[in-house]
Structure 1
Amino acid sequence: MPPETEITEGDIVGLVALDLPAPAQLRGRWAAFAAVCAARGPNATCRADGRVWHFDDSGGNWLDLHHLGEGRALLVGHDHEYSQTYYGPAAEEFGEDETDLLAGSPDWWRPVVQQTLDADEYVGFVYGFDADGWKRAAYSVPDGFQSVGLPALTMERTRESIVSFTRDAPGLGGATARQDAIDALVAADGDVTEAHVTAVIGKGGWDPAAGAAAARKFLAV
């Protein structure tokens, strides 16, 4: 689970501080992985949809980052194998004790969580971001965030994920995507061109225009 320290004074009582990158730090890496996914072909695994950034592992584990304005964001998701935080309807359905993922949280967290539940999705973790950084409710059971495997969480994980994802790119001819090209794709911070994508996937076979278009959607916020 993410490194964390309990908040005591000057913050909402009962919340826990999380050592996670700010949304602005995540954008370049998230957009870079979305670019190679889209270049390979139609793929909803990693994308920006308006003010929501999505990632899933194609196996039912997912997370969404909602940008709420005024410097606020909410990260909501679930891992069907490792989330042991049974929240809302899931607690009753599975006969488990409920973990209150909104305990001590400000009111602005609640609409996104309710919207997610209304879409018949389970919620395993809820992390809120504002000027004081990331926070979550206090609990001790695994919530599944780390096991979802968001590539954008670190630069190292982003590089590894892009290299793995592009191993069969025809334009690379069996080679491995160059690290400097991947770093440049990330550094574009969503303002990605076809040239950025081509430098990673090589020429021929995949669609760099689709990749660049998918990455640029992250510029909406």
Structure 2
Amino acid sequence: MALVQLDLPEPMSLRGRWAALAAVQAAAGHGERCRALWPLWHYDDGHGSWADLHHLDDGRAVLLGQDRNDSETYYAEASDFFEEKETDLLAGAPEWWEPPVRRVRDAELFLGFVYGFDGSAWYRADYELDDGFTSLGLPVLAATLTRGKIVATVQRLPDSEGGRPAYEAIDELIAAAGEADAGLVAAVAPSAGWDAEAGAAAARAFLTA
């Protein structure tokens, strides 16, 4: 069965935005929601929807996850649990997609989508259902989405008083591509509830490759 090609950014082009978001989440005390544990980059929205990017050899990668509300694809155990028809998310996929999928299944998590990057392009299995990827709204896919998520995180701080961080400070943190120090993180939200050192450490974790 032929795979469907996707229009998504190359994996390493996401590092600056993913690292910036991880820095802000960690500084705000939610480091578990966005982090790098090489070769894995993780994101979740705090409400049960998530995505993991697994970096593999030769520039390949697997991006997989689930939107807990809008994924209409049910793979493996999820099909039995929800008593829904199974969507084979690995139909036609090469064998190297399977280890990250196995890791998720071993963790007893359900999958809505599995995308593979072969070093030049992204692909998924051929199905018509909504797999939840779009509704998940992975913030790191675009600078505007990343900025919006960072602003929302800062505005939820107890002493933020609804203030918005300057986009210039956010863009500098993104441009650092993981090479962040506490000063860059502090500039985004100089707040009493803000741990800039933790944020910088979270960003630098994305430099391992």
| Amino acid paired to 2:174 | V
Q: Does 1:98 align with 2:86?
A: yes
Task: Measure, in 2, the Cα distance between the counterparts of 1:31 and 1:70.
Answer: 22
Conservation of the 8 A alpha-carbon contact between 1:14 and 1:138: yes
Aligned mates of 2:44, 2:56 — CA distance in 1: 21
Return the offset for 1:42. Answer: 4.6
The 3-state SS of whatever aligns with 2:165 is: coil
Q: Residue in 1 aligned with 2:2?
A: 14
User: In the aligned structure 1, how far is the partner of 2:9 from the partner of 2:36?
Assistant: 18
Q: How many residues end up aligned between the 2 structures?
A: 209
- Which one of 145, 164, 186 corresponds to residue 176 of structure 1? 164
Written as runs of structure 1 = structure 2, the 5 A alignment for 1:70-85 is 70-85=58-73
Tell me the equivalent position of 2:147.
159
In structure 2, the CA distance between the partners of 1:100 and 1:168, relative to structure 1 (3 Å rule), is closer
- Identical columns (%): 52
- Are the aligned partners of 2:49 and 2:136 in contact in 1 as well (CA < 8 Å)? yes
What is the CA–CA distance in structure 2 between the aligned matches of 1:130 and 1:164, rounded to whole Å?
34
Paired residues for 1:39-118 under 5 Å? 39-118=27-106
Distance change >3 Å, CA 178–CA 124, structure 1 → 2: same
Q: Name structure 1 gaps, 5 residues minimum.
A: 1-12
Superimposed CA distance per residue, residues 25-84 of structure 1 (whole angstroms, 9 cap, x where no aligned partner) = 111001101101111125311111121011111111111100112101101101221111
Q: Distance in 2 between matches of 1:80 and 1:173?
A: 31
**8 Å contact kept, 2:155–2:161:** no
The superposition leaves residues 67-103 of structure 1 with CA deviations (integer Å, 9 ceiling, x where unpaired) of: 1121011011012211111111211222211111111
AA aligned opposite 1:125: F
Instruction: Report SS of the residue matched to 1:122.
Output: coil
Q: Compute the displacement of 1:170 (Å).
A: 6.9
User: Structure 2 regions of 5+ residues with no counterpart?
Assistant: none
Residues in 2 aligned to 1:214 and 1:150: alpha-carbon distance in whole angstroms = 18
**TM-score, normalised with respect to structure 2:** 0.94
Q: Cα gap change, 1:171/1:28 in structure 2, threshold over 3 Å: closer, same or farther?
A: farther
Q: Is the 8 A contact 1:171 1:206 kept in 2?
A: no
Q: Matches of 1:44 and 1:122 in 2, distance apart?
A: 19
User: RMSD in angstroms over aligned alpha carbons?
Assistant: 1.6
Change over 3 Å in CA distance of 1:140–1:196 after alignment to 2: same
| Amino acid of the structure 1 residue aligned with 2:46 | S
Tell me the CA shift for residue 211 of structure 1. 0.3
Structure 1 residues 174 and 117: alpha-carbon distance in aligned structure 2, compared to 1, 3 A threshold: closer
2:113 equivalent to 1:125? yes
Residue identity opposite 2:151 in structure 1: V
Secondary structure at the counterpart of residue 155 of structure 2:
coil
Structure 2 CA distance for aligned equivalents of residues 171 and 216 of structure 1: 26
Deviation at 1:149, TM superposition (A): 2.4
Question: How many angstroms apart in 2 are the aligned matches of 1:154 and 1:127?
Answer: 18
